[in-house]
Structure 1
């Protein structure tokens, strides 16, 4: 009833899950992740106890394949209907599909990933997800790799019953909002006619509002740029002898505070400022 990918970033710092299903609010049931520990997806008559149990096993040093075996061995429910994917901080991911899962059902795993699905349009859903994941190895942002793989599965037919919900969860130590959280991305589309596309749209918005800027592209707040920024901020009612303070004040109102770096301006912030002054916002 669901297809998902559990993955680890190439540098090992981020762990996460992307999932879609003809099921209301799939993000409330399937994914679980803990920074510097691992990620788990439980689905197909999901046993939600797999989430804390799997993370506990991974945190104690149990590798992904043994974690999956332990979860199945300790389950006194309908194991034949279960499906689970697990990834740890190192090594191969692991996946399990019970013999009684609704067809098509199956999965695949490799270094840093596990892909699984049930009640799918066909084997190509999982196969195309794996191909997309492997082809995106050059993308450093795990969230984008996961969504790209999910999109490939959706294009291949996804859940054969149709579309309803999708979710994305990515964790990385200290890289969440304000540096005080490990939750890097947590997005859910609970009920939508095209949930994977909507999830991708939300991820683009998340990037704008919550990702830290790339130091390599920051523009120094000096000369003509500083003059332009000061003039535009003043037109919006943000006047301060300290230009950094004026910019931070406006950015905070616009939910762009994660992109503020004293002495510089992020090109994305500058674009938003220009758009705001053109529209008279």
Structure 2
């Protein structure tokens, strides 16, 4: 009833899971991760303990293969389980129990594990793996979403669509820098959840992404005058006040202006 990708990005030292299913709020069940340890997707007749137990094993330094072996060896219901794991070094492993409903299976390679059950056919998993490999130049979050979208386009869950989720873990990446949850997005009940997840990811990157230093504009002269006029039209005396209301604090830079912030300000003030 579910298809997912578990993956590791060496450049950013991030671990992530992207998942979709004809199941309400699949993001509450399948994806688990921990910065510096790895990530786990538990699905089919999901054993939720695979998530925290798998992360504990990964934190002890076990490889993805070893974690899968430990999890299923201790589970009498393993024949109906499906799990994907990527470890701290980016090694992937996947397991599909023989009693998982057709079509079911998985593929694992360097940096990823893809798996699915009750799929439209055997082409879904390879399509996801191919999209993952071809997306090497994309940002990690977009690469995960691209793999998920490829599975969706290949037929996805044979029963239909309902929910999707994207979670990424990176040390100190949460808002405020105290936790390791870089991205935690869910489309819990939607006719096109993978597309909706893409919309949410775009918003996430708009609000919480860091400005590109190469694109920053000097906030002076005609631009400063325009910004002042736009803010006045919206009822604000300072850029900080407007940005605080609209949640653009992460994109503010003293004496400079992020073009994405300017675009939003112009759209509201025009």
> Is the CA contact 1:12–1:89 (under 8 Å) kept in the aligned structure 2?
no
TM-score between both structures, scaled by the size of structure 2: 0.97
2:173 corresponds in structure 1 to 175
Shift of 1:181: 2.9
Q: Deviations over 1:234-257 (max 9, x none)?
A: 222222xxxxxx212111101111
Q: How does 1:53-72 map to 2 (within 5 A)?
A: 53-72=53-72
> Is the CA contact 1:12–1:90 (under 8 Å) kept in the aligned structure 2?
no
Structure 2 Cα separation of the partners of residues 53 and 83 of structure 1 = 15
Structure 2 Cα separation of the partners of residues 11 and 170 of structure 1 = 14
Match among 186, 189, 192 for residue 191 of structure 1: 189
Match among 140, 146, 149 for residue 148 of structure 1: 146
Structure 2 Cα separation of the partners of residues 264 and 68 of structure 1 = 50
Task: Report the 3-state secondary structure (helix = DSSP H, G, I; strand = E; otherwise coil) of the residue aligned with 1:197.
Answer: helix
Shift of 1:276: 1.0
Q: Deviations over 1:15-47 (max 9, x none)?
A: 110000111111111011111211100000000
Q: How does 1:112-127 map to 2 (within 5 A)?
A: 112-127=111-126
Task: Report the 3-state secondary structure (helix = DSSP H, G, I; strand = E; otherwise coil) of the residue aligned with 1:85.
Answer: strand
Q: How does 1:129-278 map to 2 (within 5 A)?
A: 129-139=128-138, 141-239=139-237, 246-278=238-270
Q: Which runs of 5+ in 1 are unaligned?
A: 240-245
Give the number of aligned pairs: 270
Task: Report the 3-state secondary structure (helix = DSSP H, G, I; strand = E; otherwise coil) of the residue aligned with 2:176.
Answer: helix
Q: Root-mean-square deviation (CA), in Å?
A: 1.2
> Is the CA contact 1:6–1:39 (under 8 Å) kept in the aligned structure 2?
yes
Shift of 1:228: 1.6
Q: Which runs of 5+ in 2 are unaligned?
A: none
Structure 2 Cα separation of the partners of residues 123 and 150 of structure 1 = 15
1:35 corresponds in structure 2 to 35
Structure 2 Cα separation of the partners of residues 196 and 165 of structure 1 = 8
Shift of 1:12: 4.7
Shift of 1:202: 1.0
Structure 2 Cα separation of the partners of residues 173 and 12 of structure 1 = 10
Q: Deviations over 1:247-277 (max 9, x none)?
A: 1211110111111122211110000011111
Structure 2 Cα separation of the partners of residues 12 and 266 of structure 1 = 23
Q: How does 1:72-151 map to 2 (within 5 A)?
A: 72-76=72-76, 78-139=77-138, 141-151=139-149
Runs of 4+ residues deviating >4 angstroms = none
Shift of 1:91: 3.6
Q: 1:152/1:31 Cα in 2 relative to 1: closer, same or farther (>3 Å)?
A: same
Q: Deviations over 1:141-170 (max 9, x none)?
A: 211111110000000000111111111111
Structure 2 Cα separation of the partners of residues 181 and 248 of structure 1 = 26
Q: Which moved more, 1:122-131 or 1:220-229?
A: 220-229
1:17 corresponds in structure 2 to 17
2:50 corresponds in structure 1 to 50
